[in-house]
Amino acid sequence: MNPNKKSVFRLINTSDQNWSDWHWQFKNRITKPGILANLLHEPAEKREELQRAATVYPLAITPYYFSLINHTNENDPIKKQCFPDLLEILQTCTPEDPLEEDSHMPVPKLVHRYPDRCLAIVTEICATYCRHCNRKRFWSSSPQISMKTRLTNMIRYISASPQIREVIISGGDPLTLEDHVLEELLVSLRSIPHVEVLRIGSRAPVVMPMRITKDLCRILKRARPLWFNTQFNHPHEITPDSARACNMLLEAGIPVSNQSVLLGGINDSTEVMKNLLYGLQNISVRPYYLFHCDPAKGCEHFRTDVKTGMGMMENIWRQCSGLSLPQYVLDVPGSTGKIPLNVMSRAIKKDLQKHQHFFDKFK
C-alpha cells in the first residue's frame, strides 16, 4: 500500500474491502474544501481560495484518486487536475459553452452535431471533477426533469433519426450510474435497428477503477459492438488498479481508447507525453485523440498554444511507435468535426525537401 493511500485510509479508517468497493469510493469522495484543506494542512489563505473556487465549480475527489498525489510536489499533476484553483474563477472573457453544444440539443442533453453520431449527456455527476473539464458549466445545474424522462426523450429522438448509427454515452460520467440504469439504457439503444455502434466515454478507469466490476463487464459485453473511451492525462494515472480495470474491459471484448487533453504544466512536454503514450500502449489502451484544451470558462489557465502542441507532437511522431500516436485535434463549434492539427503536413515539408529525389521517382 502506498503511504498516501495509508493516510487517507487512516483518516477514513476503512478496510481494504471498502477501498475496492466503488460505492464506498463514491460515497467517500472529498467534496468539502475544508476537509481537503485539513488533509493537506493548508494555511488559512489557501483554505479560503479553495473555498471560493469550489463555490463556483464543485469539488469531488475519490479517495483513490487522492491517493495518487505526491504531496511533496507542489505542482503534482494529479493534484492540478482535481484541486480547485482561484484561477478558475478569475477568468471573465471565455465562453461557458465554446463548442455551442447547447444550441445543438434537439432534446435536453442530447448533442447532435455530426449527422451519423450523437452524444448523450446522461448525467452531470462525476466521480472526480476534473478542473479542466469543458463541460464544467453543467456541474451545478440541477436537472429539471427526471432521469427516466430524460433518457426516454433521448431514446425517442434517436429511434426517429435513422441517420444516427453511433450513440456516445457521456456526461458527466455515465459510470456513476447504477448498473441497472445503464443496462436498461444499453438494452433500449440496442433495440433500435439503425444504431450500429455504441460508445461510452468515462473516466472511471482513471479516477475510480473499482467501478469496472465483473457485473458491469457482463452488461457491457452484451451491448457490443461497444467502444470504451477513457481519459488518462498523465503517466502517474497508470497504476496497477487502472491497468486492471482496462484489462477487464479488454477481456470482455471491449476496445479501450484514450482521449487526453493537452494541459499546460501537466502533460505539455515531449517527455511526459511520451511516457503517457508508451504507458498506455503497455496496458493495451489505444491513444485516440489528444485534444487541444477548449477555451471554456474556468479552464483558461490550462491552455497552451497550438504551436507548443504541434512541436511536441512532431517530436513524438519522429520518436515513437506508430501504435502510440494519438490524433492531435482541435474541436470547433458546428458540424465540421474535430480538426486534426496535422503535425505531418507541417513536418513533411522539411522531409519532402530532404527526400525530393525519392518522391520524384513516383511522379
Ligand X SMILES: *Cc1c(COP(=O)(O)O)cnc(C)c1O
What residues line the site for ligand X (CB under 6 A)? 111, 113-114, 117, 119, 168, 337-338
Range in contact with ligand SF4 (rule: CB under 6 A) among 171-179, 219-227, 285-293, 325-333: 171-179
Is 148 assigned a catalytic role?
A: no
Which residues are CB-contacts of 120 (< 8 A; sequence separation ≥ 6)?
A: 109, 110, 111, 154, 167, 168, 169, 170
Is 114 assigned a catalytic role?
A: yes
Q: 88 near 298, Cβ under 8 Å?
A: yes
Is 199 assigned a catalytic role?
A: no
Q: Which of helix, strand or coil describes residue 33? A: helix
Active-site pick, 29, 79, 109, 113: 113
Is 294 assigned a catalytic role?
A: yes
In the bound complex, what is the minimum distance in angstroms from residue 350's beta carbon to ligand X? 28
Q: 225 near 252, Cβ under 8 Å?
A: no
302 binds, among ligand SF4, ligand X, none (CB under 5 to 8 A by kind): none
> Quick one: three-class SS letters along 184-225?
HHHHHHHCCCCCCEEEEECCHHHHCHHHCCHHHHHHHHHCCC
Q: 198 near 227, Cβ under 8 Å?
A: yes
Is 338 assigned a catalytic role?
A: yes
Residue whose CB is less far from ligand X, 3 or 225: 225
199: nearest Cα among 257, 247, 241: 257
Is 274 assigned a catalytic role?
A: no
Q: 160 near 131, Cβ under 8 Å?
A: no
In the bound complex, what is the minimum distance in angstroms from residue 296's beta carbon to ligand X? 13
Distance CA 68, CA 178 (A): 25
In the bound complex, what is the minimum distance in angstroms from residue 201's beta carbon to ligand SF4? 7
Site for ligand SF4 in 27-56 (CB under 6 A): none
- Interface with ligand SF4 (CB under 6 A), residue total 9
Q: Quick check: 135 binds ligand SF4 (CB under 6 A)?
A: yes
Across 235-295, where does the E strand assignment appear? 256-262, 286-292
In the bound complex, what is the minimum distance in angstroms from residue 128's beta carbon to ligand SF4? 7
211 binds, among ligand X, ligand SF4, none (CB under 5 to 8 A by kind): none
Residue whose CB is less far from ligand SF4, 135 or 303: 135
Q: Quick check: 186 binds ligand SF4 (CB under 6 A)?
A: no
Active-site pick, 5, 117, 190, 224: 117
In the bound complex, what is the minimum distance in angstroms from residue 345's beta carbon to ligand SF4? 29
Distance CA 33, CA 55 (A): 9
Active-site pick, 211, 294, 299, 328: 294
Q: Quick check: 266 binds ligand SF4 (CB under 6 A)?
A: no
Q: 168 near 199, Cβ under 8 Å?
A: yes
Q: Quick check: 203 binds ligand SF4 (CB under 6 A)?
A: yes
**Mind telling me the catalytic residues?**
113-114, 117, 126, 130, 133, 135, 294, 331, 338
